[in-house]
Structure 1
Amino acid sequence: MRTHLIRKNLVAMGLIAAFAAAPLAQAAAQESMSKDSTNQTVPDKAADAWITAKVKSEFATTKGVDATDISVSTNDGVVTLSGHVGSAAEKTKAEQVARAVKGVKSVDTSGLTLSAGDD
């Protein structure tokens, strides 16, 4: 009878320990995942490189956008345009062209400046 009681207690303690460890393991997994989300994965970087190349090629074939004066970079689907444009209309056109590329989440044109003497 005493052996049976000890065995029940050991099983109960084992279950308690297992259930107590589960939340700790889950918390550790969530922390690990949150750290990984701040770093881009290889597929994300490849997608960003493709978006950058596609935006540049669209600029090269679009009338009213001087592709040689606009730099393009992409991070997590956010396209950043910088450089010089000849007019506000060119800046707007560049933003529209970039925004139309598949995979683009948003476009930042704050780095585009109007060339001196132009509107």
Structure 2
Amino acid sequence: MKTVFIAVTALSLAFAGSAAAQSAGAQAQTEQDPAVSTATGDSQQPVGDTWITTKVKTELMATSGVPGTDIKVETVNGVVKLSGHVDKAQADKAASIARNIDGVKKVDTSGLMASHSRK
């Protein structure tokens, strides 16, 4: 459990550092490119694929009953693709987590393969 906490903390710190750097140029980027998608809500900050991938992976790692280290997350244009070997309940939970992240347009679970329950 310590390893998961350390990994989640490291991802969070890495994200915080990159988010600060990105936010400086975010307004200029949004003004130049009207096609940049934004999250719903009050924020006008763009939600990029890297941010979505990091957020989904962090949430998977922090959720009990989901083997976050066994699930690969890829995001292209807001579409999150999950892959790995998990059971049906874990796949459903992982998909639900991904769907609830700001900026996610669709979740593709076709890469999640059924595996035997782990004991």
Deviation at 1:114, TM superposition (A): 1.2
Number of aligned residue pairs: give it: 77
Give TM-score scaled by structure 1 length.
Answer: 0.58
**What does 1:8-23 correspond to in 2, within 5 Å?**
none
What displacement does 1:113 show? 0.4
Q: Does the alignment pair 1:111 with 2:117?
A: no
Give 1:80-95 correspondences, 5 Å limit. Answer: 80-85=81-86, 87-95=87-95
After superposition, the C-alpha distances for 1:30-63 in whole angstroms (9 at most, x for unaligned) are xxxxxxxxxxxxx67x700000000000001111
| Structure 1: stretches of 5+ with no match in the other structure | 1-42
Task: Determine what percentage of the aligned residue pairs are the same residue.
Answer: 53
CA distance in 1, matches of 2:91, 2:107: 12
Query: Which structure's residues are more often helix, by fraction?
Result: 1
Pairwise CA distance, 1:64: 1.1
Q: 2:49 and 2:78 mapped to 1: Cα distance? A: 6
Q: Distance in 2 between matches of 1:52 and 1:107?
A: 12
> What is the Cα-based RMSD across aligned positions, in Å?
2.4
1:90 deviates by 0.6
Q: If you compute each CA radius of gyration, which structure gives the higher value, 1 or 2?
A: 1
